[in-house]
Amino acid sequence: MTDQAQEPSSDRLLCPTCGTSLAENASRCVVCGTVLHTAKGRNKPRARAQVTLPLPLALLLIAIFALVSAGLTYGATALLGDDQGTVPTLSPTFTATQSLTPEPTATETIVPSPTPLPTLAYVIVVGDTCLGIAVDFDVSVQSIRLMNPGLICEALTVGTTIFLPQPTPTPSPEPTATLPPAEATLAACETITYTVQANDTLGGIASNYNVSMRSIMDFNGMTSETVYLGQVLIIPLCERLPTPGPSPTATSPPPHPAPNLLLPQDGAPFTLAHDTVTLQWASVGELRENEVYRVIVEDITEGSGTVRLEAYVSDTKYIVPTLMRPSEPVPHIMRWWVQVVRQVGVTEEGEPTYRSAGAISLKRDFTWSGAVPGATPTP
């Protein structure tokens, strides 16, 4: 009887959804609420097969379904927009990532240190001086003193060995620039400035300084003789007029001032590359027909003998010819000066004779070498 009570009645129904056993006349499942469609004379519904899934697979299917649902929801929202007709815009979020910049690799630069040049040994002979040795070996007297502590240049001992530095090659000097005569005269002209005062006239100013009005106008670029109060004028004293004497008797012109030497600069060096040397000085004013400039060039190098060149020119420059250039590698010292002279007669051979007509200029020196620059003579 127990087994008969446990068996389901053949007159009961099975829910097609959840499989619950129901009474034959039930119209709705009491478990899942499914509406049952039964009719008298129809076959009873048969129980459906149940599918059982493992728990991991079920969770995976639920996750896939959730992702698909979220994608569909986002797509629908993007197409339809919200109530205001705006489409939501996703703002990308950037995460700053610190990038490591490789530090530059320090490259050590090795600068080669200059190798000192070997020194020269020299034995002092009779007649030697520090200056002569320095000129012969193209070094300075100071370098000889520094390399030979205790050396007394004023009392050299014959047979003593001294040490000399290697000569330092010096670049050849640039060719001497020659100024045009007008610019050379302007640069050497002595001038003063004068400020025009009340009641001043150009003629009165010119008379006070014994300068012609034309000279003042030309020097200041004036086109008329009118001057203005407070105007600054440059007075060219180098163009002063000769002072007229009280007697109408013709007198000799006053002596000319000493010419102002311009080029080359005092102590300028010249080498074998210079075939000629141009000497230039400022004009002392207008010369008379019988007046010229006398240019004197002398080789004053010790032991070479006196070589003197005398020339007469009417220009303010003179080119020293190549014959004055020494043939030895040792630089020779050349001294030159200029003076205005006046011809007073002629000799029996027909050569003109001159007499001084002005002061002698200052004397300047330059050196001229007959060997290739940097050549070292053998002691």
Provide DSSP, 175-231.
PPP---HHHHHHHH--EEEEE--TT--HHHHHHHHTB-HHHHHHHHT-SSS---TT-
**Which CATH fold would you assign to the domain 261-368?**
Immunoglobulin-like (2.60.40)
Residue 260 near residue 361 (C-beta atoms within 8 A): yes
The mean-pLDDT minimum among 47-56, 285-294, 322-331, 339-348 falls in 47-56
CA separation, residue 215 to residues 28, 89, 228, 238 (Å): 140, 91, 18, 10
Please give the Cα distance from 157 to 177 (Å, whole number). 45
The shares of helix, strand and coil residues in the chain, as percent rounded to the nearest 5, are 20, 20, 55
Span 20-40, average pLDDT = 74
Maximum average pLDDT range among 18-32, 40-54, 89-103, 107-121: 18-32
pLDDT at 210 over 70: yes
Looking at residue 244, what is its pLDDT? 60
Q: Which residue has the higher pLDDT, 14 or 128?
A: 128
Burial of 269-280, coded b for 16+ CB within 10 Å and e otherwise, reads ebbbebeebebb
Domain boundaries, the chain: 120-164, 184-239, 261-368
pLDDT tens sequence across 255-270: 888 899 988 888 888 8
Overall CATH class of domain 184-239: alpha beta
pLDDT at 338 over 90: yes
- 35 pairs with which residues across the strands? 28
Residue 330 near residue 289 (C-beta atoms within 8 A): no
pLDDT at 170 over 90: no
**pLDDT > 70: what percent of the chain?**
70
Span 15-23, average pLDDT = 79
Maximum average pLDDT range among 60-64, 152-156, 300-304, 375-379: 60-64
CATH of domain 120-164: 3.10.350.10
pLDDT at 337 over 90: yes
CB proximity list for 227: less than 8 A, separation 6 or greater: 196, 200, 201, 202, 205, 233
**pLDDT > 90: what percent of the chain?**
7
Residue 377 binned pLDDT confidence (cut-offs 50, 70, 90):
very low
Amino acid letter at 368?
A: W
Both tokens assigned to 126: 């009779």
Fold matches, 184-239 and 261-368: no
3-state secondary structure 106-171: CCCCCCCCCCCCCCEEEECCCCCCHHHHHHHCCCCHHHHHHHCCCCCHHHCCCCCEEEECCCCCCC
CA separation, residue 125 to residues 196, 301, 330 (Å): 70, 20, 18
Long-range contacts of 149-157 (CB under 8 A, 24+ apart): 153/129, 156/124, 156/128, 156/129, 156/130, 157/124
- 28 pairs with which residues across the strands? 35
pLDDT tens sequence across 216-253: 998 888 888 899 898 999 888 888 887 665 544 445 56
Span 70-80, average pLDDT = 77
Span 12-40, average pLDDT = 75
Please give the Cα distance from 20 to 30 (Å, whole number). 8
Looking at residue 33, what is its pLDDT? 78
